[in-house]
Amino acid sequence: MSTLSGIGASFRDSVAHYRNASGLRKAAILLLSVVAAMLVGSLLILAVGADPLQAYYYMLVRPLTSITSIGEVAMYFTPLLLVGLGVSFTFHAKLSNLGGEGQMLFGALGMTLVGVPPVGNLLGVWSLPVGILLGILMGAFWAAAAGFFRVRFNASEIVVTLMLNYIAEQFISYVVFYPLRSGAEPQSAKIACALPKLWQGSRINCGVLIALALVAVYGVVIRRTRFGYHLRALGGSERAAEYSGVKRQRYYFLAMVISGAFCGLAGAVQISGNTMRLMEGVAGDFGFSGIVVAMLGSLNPVGVVIAALFMALLSAGSVTMQVKTGIPTSFTSVLEALIVLFILLGMAVSAAQSKRKKVSKA
């Protein structure tokens, strides 16, 4: 095997170990990681001269106090959940899809293409489902490019997906500067359709329901289908999987494409449920935050939902926090990264402990 593909072996071991750990132990690791990260975070907050309790109140509690702000949380929750589910597929096969951002951008482009006039007017109400479908396809297409390089050339999907993010960013920039530009600002026209709202006076919309329905789909596919079983076999032990007849390359490619489809959907929902037009940076940080969601949720369907909710609170709340306490929103990135680092630490410690137990038993 050539460049970089050896990566993931230990991760596989510790994840495999981690999965075998009891639910209680897992929950304890996750909770402790979050607490530890927040404690380190409070040092930063104190350094700025703000009050950590107040800051965390704005991040975690305040967003839930009104239906309007819950709607804002949903604006983050839906894409976080979709990207989190998407990258979970690849993590199962011990692939890393770090291209969520690029795939989201292509999904957003798909929605925009059929949403803006003239196509948008022509299709009427149909532009919404068609746009979502096209978004899914385009996200899958962009991920397929990365999958192709991985499978055909054995090029590291880590670097390729990251590079494809930069390329997608420039492509979308080109699209909103020239062909799809409408008006003085570099952005597309407003799309003609929108995801129906769930509540008056709040931006929460049907996108949340789509995402939650897909959680069930994800759970069933991973746990109850041959495909999911094979994916997990690949992630568990590549060679064993190959002996049992799993076509490794094909599964890598498929995992990548499905992952991209989820991210593409996230992009389409971002346009039709939030921004209503295509512009630069429409995918935000969701590509990377989605990875945090997958890790924090330990690839478990329910876990991913809880993780996405937590991360959505952080993201939505950080804006208020910045205004009220002067702590920059980039604080959330620090917190996110710390959480995952502490989870990894917890996994390592837990693995070492159980190994010691095994040794002492023997």
- Which residues make up the interface to other proteins (CB under 8 A)? 2-4, 6-11, 14, 44, 48, 96, 98, 149, 152-156, 158-160, 162-164, 166-167, 170-171, 173-174, 177-178, 288, 291-292, 295, 328, 330-338, 340-341, 344-345, 347-349
Could you give the C-alpha distances from 80 to 70, 212, 264, 287, 336, in angstroms and in order? 15, 11, 12, 8, 13
Could you give the C-alpha distances from 64 to 52, 71, 314, in angstroms and in order? 19, 9, 11
Instruction: Kindly state the smallest distance separating residue 282's Cβ from other proteins, in Å.
Output: 15
* Cβ nearer to other proteins, comparing 146 with 231: 146
DSSP assignment of 224-293: HSHHHHHHHHHHH-HHHHHHTT--HHHHHHHHHHHHHHHHHHHHHHHIIIIISS-BTTTTTTHHHHHHHH
* Cβ nearer to other proteins, comparing 226 with 358: 358
CB 171, CB 107: distance < 8 Å: no
In whole angstroms, what is the distance from residue 326 CA to residue 80 CA? 25
* Cβ nearer to other proteins, comparing 59 with 164: 164
Whether the link from the prior residue into 118 is cis, omega within 30° of 0, is: yes
In whole angstroms, what is the distance from residue 347 CA to residue 299 CA? 14
Residue whose structure tokens are 């292509």: 106
Instruction: Kindly state the smallest distance separating residue 78's Cβ from other proteins, in Å.
Output: 21
Partners of residue 187 on adjacent β-strands: 279
* Cβ nearer to other proteins, comparing 7 with 27: 7
In whole angstroms, what is the distance from residue 109 CA to residue 105 CA? 6
Residue whose structure tokens are 């929605």: 111
Could you give the C-alpha distances from 177 to 108, 142, 186, 212, 354, in angstroms and in order? 15, 21, 5, 35, 57
Instruction: Kindly state the smallest distance separating residue 100's Cβ from other proteins, in Å.
Output: 11
* Cβ nearer to other proteins, comparing 202 with 322: 322
Radius of gyration of the chain (CA): 21
Name residue 45's amino acid.
I
* Cβ nearer to other proteins, comparing 103 with 156: 156
Instruction: Kindly state the smallest distance separating residue 15's Cβ from other proteins, in Å.
Output: 9
